[in-house]
Amino acid sequence: MRMVDLIAKKRDGGTLTQAEIDWMITEYVADKIPDYQMSAFLMATYFKGMTDAEQANLAFAMLNSGDRLNLDEIPGVKVDKHSTGGVGDKISIPLTPLVACLGVPIPMISGRGLGHTGGTLDKLESIPGFNVHETEAEFKAQVQDIGQAIISSSGDMAPADRRIYALRDVTATVESIPLIASSIMSKKIASGTNALVFDVKVGNGAFMKSQADAEKLARALVSIGHAAGVDGVALLTDMDQPLGVTIGNSLEIAESIAILKNRGPKDVRELTLTLAAHMLVLGKRAESLEIALGMCEDALKDGRALKAFKQLIERQGGDSRVVDDPTLLPQAKYKVPVTAATDGFVTAIDSNALGIAVMQLGGGRATKDSVLDLAVGLVLHKKVGTPVTAGDTLAMIHADSDDIDAVAQAIQAAFTIGPVAPVKQPLIKQIIK
């Protein structure tokens, strides 16, 4: 085979065979195909797309380029959750102990934030001492002992995906749905999970801006999972405003603790419970979503989920006292209100702009090597649909510098205030199996 022929085939709208895809990935990882040819293939794929079989075969080829965890020795159906990323999306943190305390093992391999979206690992590292780096043996032992672990990916998992993703980032091909889906699934299948719940965000703060594109991605993820023998369900969820009321690493941990104490914002609670219920059904611990929801609500009310979170923190070297005293989390030096200029209702919030504002405060990465300030962020006082009087606080900035005038102006501009309250939009827009 020749790479130039595969590029031409895809450029002309052809369908690559499994053998062709396997050869391409094997040769690329072996440095026998140069980056410029792989870049050309990625651009051809961006424009011509892939069939369901092609994107599944690409996921499997990238999966087979590295190690794959075998979790068969851990009893039960192992279930994981993946979010496509959003602003204020801290759901993995309360979700993991909630599901684990109800008997479903959660072997979660998570990522870090880049740009306007936060990362689960960064948030957890705001807990003093919390270690996200474990060996495979430690990871397996922890899931077997306490039913949960949240760690960073091994460098040996799906190395082809890591190299191809770096190319996509600099060749304007990140937005290709087949490339996104195969990238996600190569890593998730490599983690050894038996079932997956996908939280596919849609809206101005999400990677997928339209529901049509989000649905395409959700169907691609579920399809690849089925081809791999991994059961799955995808929820399309709203990201036209931040999730919850906090954006920023330690602030989101505090909000997650509130959820586990059966408090916290309604949207975070609703999404946590809904995703948890689907995970319980996939994990064969509940026969229906209704039964699963009741089990989850009980675990929040009686403290089991909170206790499980303390176990998770302690097992990974963190200071579990933060659960009872969130002031032990990193605290910002300054708290500065951003106020409304006019009366009315909040009709829209530019989530992307708020995510970028937190990044500019130091709470997110402009590049992969950026050093984070884990204390900074925003606490929202108003969300879409709430009434506003001029002078009301829209958001409170938590900062470690008092030079934040430009950031404050950007935050104020992110809120649209109009004379009429908008029609309330559902948090969960669609479920795809």
Which residue in this structure is represented by tokens 């009310």?
A: 301
3-state secondary structure 362-389: HHCCCCCCCCCCCCCEEEECCCCCCEEC
Catalytic residues: 82, 161, 168, 183, 187
Query: Which residues lie below 8 Å from residue 378, measured CB to CB, with a gap of 6+?
Result: 246, 247, 248, 251, 354, 357, 358, 395, 396, 397, 398, 411
Residue that the structure tokens 């949207």 belong to: 267
Instruction: Tell me the DSSP string of 299-335.
Output: HHHSSHHHHHHHHHHHHTT--GGGGT-GGGS---SEE
CA distance 225 to 186: 10
Nearest Cα neighbor of 171 from 35, 34, 32 is: 35
Query: What span, in angstroms and rounded, lies between the C-alpha atoms of 106 and 311?
Result: 14
Torsion of CA 31, 32, 34, 37, to 10 degrees: -130
Chain centre distance of CA 75: 26
For 91, 93, 223, the CA distances from 268, given in Å and listed in that order, are 7, 11, 27
Sheet with 231-238, side-by-side order of all strands: 79-83, 195-202, 231-238, 428-432
Q: Per-residue b/e over 323-349, b at no fewer than 16 CB within 10 Å?
A: beebeebbebeeebebebeeebbbbeb
What are the tokens at 91? 């759901």
Four-residue CA torsion sign, 316, 321, 326, 327: negative
d(CA 195, CA 126): 29
| Unique residue bearing structure tokens 């791999």 | 228
Could you identify the residue written with the tokens 């990522």? 111
- Quick count: other Cβ atoms within 10 Å of Cβ 353? 17
* Beta bridge mates, 349: 415
